[in-house]
Structure 1
Amino acid sequence: MNRDTLLKGALLSLSLLAGSVLAAVTPQEADSLGSSLTPLGAQKEGNADGSIPAWTGGLPKTAGAVDAKGFLADPFASEKPLFVITAKNAEQYRARLTEGQMALFKRYPDTYRIPVYPTHRTASVPPAVMAAAKDSALHVASVNDGSGLSGFKPGSYYAFPLPRNGVEVVWNHFTRYMGDSYKRGFIQATPQVDGAYTPVRFEEEQVYPSQVADLPAEDAGSLLYYYKQRVLEPARLAGTVALVHETIDQVNNPRRAWVYNAGQRRVRRAPQLAYDGPGTASDGQRTADNLDMYNGAPDRYDWKLIGKKELYIPYNSYRLESPTLKYDEIIKAGHINPDHTRYELHRVWEVVATVKPDARHVYAKRHFYIDEDTWQIAEVDHYDRQGQLWRVAEGHALYRYDRQTSYLAAETLYDLISGRYMVVGLRNEEPRNTQYGITAKAYDFTPAALRTDGMR
């Protein structure tokens, strides 16, 4: 055997080895998506006692009316709670509650409660997104110890529908289908202990590379999305604009962020818009990576996959988004008004993130619970550096049946120590609900465009 033959054989062996490393799952495993499992990797069957039903395809696109402003009719408006969990009976349901929920009962024994309704597995996605999830299962792999992706391209979704570890579960949250590019207005509130608050009104846009006609070549394989957020009210904050280029590998290619300060009329790089930097206009009540329950680079944590469990989580929160409600009816002292919340029993993935020994973050540990049907994070318990449970996040999700996407009617972050909290994403009094299918040019998401946005 000559030298050239040996060299070719060695190269072939290395190629096969590289292929085996990069292949996320086998074709046989991928074939379980849409057959024995749902197209996104959840268990199709219900649970043993029938309190979680089998998945049968989700709600149809015609499940309810959509008004002229884009608000959805509640398909379950006539339902009543099966029971209500309070501080007095919480121990009876402890096995299906998080430590954070138990702590909220202790912190607000007279007012916090969890109304539990019948479970409906409403979620689905368009056929093209189902196909993209299966393609991801076959071709996407993690790099840099889970901090980035290879094989994930524009038009991809759900990086790991058959996850093998904790960080892959969280990547499914990052890469979930959100109805394609969108624009929306919403408020954020950080009430005082007595419930007094000043709403901060935002406008945000999130646009995906596959939907930008003049996408720069250098962004085609490196970005998850473009994101822009503008403060509209109150007057003292109005005109501040944040721009983020969310990258696929935030170790080799860190998140690119800029802020336009209306007072200074200057655009600056904003490395603080990441990790535990302060959240915009949040009065210190959240970090940058608290938005959307968790966002950004996962490289500062070690991720442990615990498995699945059944929990009472916010779900089908159509009432909480209703335009018939005023913000004052929702935002109360201590926590949002439980009269307008809805919880259901669902299976969730349980993942624990612990700060690496050589890294730092104000949250030393985070305990995540991620809905198996949508990969939306539903609950997060945040622990400080002393190991004390500090903040509890809840994502009040609903299924936008007309767009076949799941998203949050609101997300809350409760500070157990100060007695304050943050609620972000409320749209009840806005002139219209989320708009999908928006068009954008790459220039709209450049630092040069921020000054114009801030002065509009």
Structure 2
Amino acid sequence: MKTTMLRAATLGSILSLISTMAMARLDANEVNRLGQDLTPTGAEKAGNADGSIPAWTGGLIQASSGFSPGQGYVDPFANEQPLYTVNAGNLKQYAAHLTPGYQAMLAKYPDFSMAVYPSHRTAALPQEAYAQIRKEATSVSLADGSNGLVGYEKSSVPFPIPKTGVEVLFNHFVRYRTGGYQYYPTEMVVQRNGDFTPIRREVKAIMASSMGNPEPNRLYYYLGKVTSPESVAGGQTLIHEPIDQTLEARLAWTYNPGQRRVLRAPEAAYDSPLGTSDGLRTYDTIDMYNGATNKYEWKLLGKKEMLVPYNTYKLANRSLKYKDIIQANHLNQDLLRYEMHRVWVVEATLKPGERHIYAKRVFYVDEDSWSILGADLYDGRGELWRLQEAHSLQRYDVLSAMHISEVVYDLQARRYAVYGLENEERSAQFGITAKLTDFSPSALRRSGR
């Protein structure tokens, strides 16, 4: 009888896997929609009924006049004025298009407001990226357990017509970021009175598909080093991210400058707090969400038309100083731009028996760029605890909509942390290459010395 039950369980697993793979892979008719009624990345090409969301016509693919990489991005919409501003007084009028997090911020802070501008669907990728999306759409699928990919090569949108919430998340994980980049993000934990200390980093990240000799089952390689202030300078984190985390968990190492030792760091995942964030950021809130998906049940709630941060060129202006951006309770909202866009809404609920500081998370994912632009984070009591916001723009010189910064607001503690600002730092470099040896534990040790 036990043998019969085992065979039945095994057969059930096989049928479940086949069903999952069938749902994930697109058929020829679905693929043919890409570039027709859908954009090459799977978004609805048409605008919305009231015209607040325009049709996608190819995105922003040329640099603005006067652009120089060292001087930062020129705002192509600098002359536009807000259509309206959402504040505590008119919150109810626009509530249908606001996340619960924004509604809470508007209710909590009288000076918090959201200037809403005309929407521009600027997201665009190189033609070769579009071709790769079509090529892999009929072959890539979720791994058993939905904690990885099978049949993946290097598509930046493995699931252009997603059927599940996890598929939307994987589109975010692998969205196009030029294959490799190096940048100099700054992190600030902002206290109730507005005080902050910039923590500077140097980060290099390479997609494994962009390297000549990646190891099997590798999605990307990451190396981050804290460069200041002196009290924390020298700390480093190295990550090898698997494609399929059902086969192999994330590999991570840290370098401790005090001990001058490289140590394995299995804790560099999930809800482990980042040492420089004063408890406000966890490892899996980096890039809004990253890492394994196995602690949550993922539900795709569909699309909504919502107000989200978009085309935030003003915030990226390199003439700004951090003191111009950082304020008590929240960022300087005069530097933020919000637009109406369609977003995929994905709900993650903690599985029975699993532990995490966030019992529920709701993500808002841009249909054009597949970037998570916002997230509401709930505690174990079911109360809204924190919200995340990502500030994106189309990097028209490299055709990528990579975030320029992210912020997490703690509604209970009235503090926040912002990460990624580069206004006072060197410019990022995109399309860089690297060798596997650049991301080895021995390289981490040498870098520390």
**Could you state the TM-score of these two structures normalised by the residue count of structure 2?**
0.94
CA distance in structure 2 between the partners assigned to 1:20 and 1:200 by the alignment: 43
Amino acid at match of 2:431: G
Task: Give the aligned partner of residue 318 of structure 2.
Answer: 323
Q: Write the deviation string for residues 139-197 of structure 1: whole angstroms up to 9, x where unpaired.
A: 110013211110012x3221211100111111100011012200000200001110001
Q: Write the deviation string for residues 211-253 of structure 1: whole angstroms up to 9, x where unpaired.
A: 323x25xx24x11110010000010111111000011112321
CA distance in structure 2 between the partners assigned to 1:206 and 1:188 by the alignment: 18
Say whether residues 1:104 and 2:105 are aligned partners: yes
Q: Give the deviation of 1:207 after TM superposition.
A: 0.8
Task: Give the aligned partner of residue 124 of structure 1.
Answer: 124
Say whether residues 1:362 and 2:363 are aligned partners: no
CA distance in structure 1 between the partners assigned to 2:442 and 2:258 by the alignment: 17
Mapping 1:366-445, distance limit 5 Å: 366-430=361-425, 432-445=426-439
Q: Write the deviation string for residues 268-322 of structure 1: whole angstroms up to 9, x where unpaired.
A: 0111110001124111111100010000001110011111010000000011011
Q: SS at 1:69's partner residue?
A: helix
Q: SS at 1:399's partner residue?
A: coil
1:179–1:403 Cα contact (<8 Å) kept: yes
Task: Give the aligned partner of residue 353 of structure 1.
Answer: 348
Q: Give the deviation of 1:433 after TM superposition.
A: 1.6
Q: How many equivalent pairs are there?
A: 434
Q: SS at 1:319's partner residue?
A: coil
Q: Give the deviation of 1:441 after TM superposition.
A: 1.2
Q: Give the deviation of 1:54 after TM superposition.
A: 0.4
Which moves more between the two structures, 127-136 or 19-28? 19-28
Mapping 1:40-79, distance limit 5 Å: 40-69=41-70, 71-79=72-80
Q: Give the deviation of 1:451 after TM superposition.
A: 1.9
Amino acid at match of 1:152: Y
Amino acid at match of 2:370: W
CA distance in structure 2 between the partners assigned to 1:20 and 1:191 by the alignment: 44
Mapping 1:175-324, distance limit 5 Å: 175-213=174-212, 215-216=213-214, 219-220=215-216, 222-324=217-319
Q: SS at 1:95's partner residue?
A: helix
1:410–1:423 Cα contact (<8 Å) kept: yes
CA distance in structure 1 between the partners assigned to 2:300 and 2:227 by the alignment: 40
CA distance in structure 2 between the partners assigned to 1:21 and 1:62 by the alignment: 40
CA distance in structure 2 between the partners assigned to 1:98 and 1:18 by the alignment: 36
1:191–1:333 Cα contact (<8 Å) kept: yes
Amino acid at match of 2:119: T
CA distance in structure 2 between the partners assigned to 1:89 and 1:95 by the alignment: 12
C-alpha change, 1:40 and 1:246, in structure 2 (3 Å) is same
CA distance in structure 2 between the partners assigned to 1:335 and 1:179 by the alignment: 31
Task: Give the aligned partner of residue 141 of structure 1.
Answer: 141
Q: Give the deviation of 1:454 after TM superposition.
A: 2.4
CA distance in structure 1 between the partners assigned to 2:121 and 2:356 by the alignment: 35
Q: SS at 1:162's partner residue?
A: coil
Task: Give the aligned partner of residue 89 of structure 1.
Answer: 90
Amino acid at match of 2:131: A
RMSD of aligned alpha carbons: 1.7
Q: Give the deviation of 1:18 after TM superposition.
A: 5.9
CA distance in structure 1 between the partners assigned to 2:66 and 2:135 by the alignment: 33
Q: Give the deviation of 1:410 after TM superposition.
A: 1.2
**Could you state the TM-score of these two structures normalised by the residue count of structure 1?**
0.92
Amino acid at match of 2:157: Y
Task: Give the aligned partner of residue 11 of structure 1.
Answer: none
1:152–1:159 Cα contact (<8 Å) kept: yes
C-alpha change, 1:49 and 1:335, in structure 2 (3 Å) is same
1:189–1:200 Cα contact (<8 Å) kept: yes
Task: Give the aligned partner of residue 337 of structure 1.
Answer: 332
Task: Give the aligned partner of residue 173 of structure 1.
Answer: 172
CA distance in structure 2 between the partners assigned to 1:195 and 1:394 by the alignment: 19
1:312–1:345 Cα contact (<8 Å) kept: yes
CA distance in structure 2 between the partners assigned to 1:48 and 1:355 by the alignment: 36
1:318–1:409 Cα contact (<8 Å) kept: no
CA distance in structure 2 between the partners assigned to 1:128 and 1:304 by the alignment: 31
Amino acid at match of 1:41: G
CA distance in structure 1 between the partners assigned to 2:248 and 2:103 by the alignment: 40
Listed as ranges, the gaps of 5+ residues in structure 1 are: 1-13
2:141–2:149 Cα contact (<8 Å) kept: yes
